Amino acid sequence: MKGMIMSALAGVLLATLSPADAWANPQHERMKRCNQEAREQSLKGDARK
């Protein structure tokens, strides 16, 4: 019984702390798009910044 309760609590914890929700914000989307564009243009160093 104790093991079942612990596994249920772990499942709830993992569901509430999912990485997709933590990163789902406009700033992350901008960073993701910027990194993708820099990668496509093969930018390095100061040009990438």
Distance between CA 37 and CA 33 in Å, rounded? 6
User: Which band of pLDDT confidence, cut at 50, 70 and 90, is reported for residue 48?
Assistant: confident
pLDDT in tens, 8-44: 877 776 666 656 655 568 888 898 998 899 889 988 8
Phi and psi at residue 13, to the nearest 5°: -60, -45
Q: Quick one: pLDDT at residue 21? A: 58
Q: Is the pTM of this model over 0.75?
A: no
Exposed e or buried b per residue across 7-39, where buried means at least 16 C-beta atoms within 10 angstroms of its C-beta: eeeeeeeeeeeeeeeeeeeeeeeeeeeeeeeee
Q: Which residues contact 20 (CB under 8 A, 6 or more apart)?
A: none
Domain boundaries, the chain: 20-49
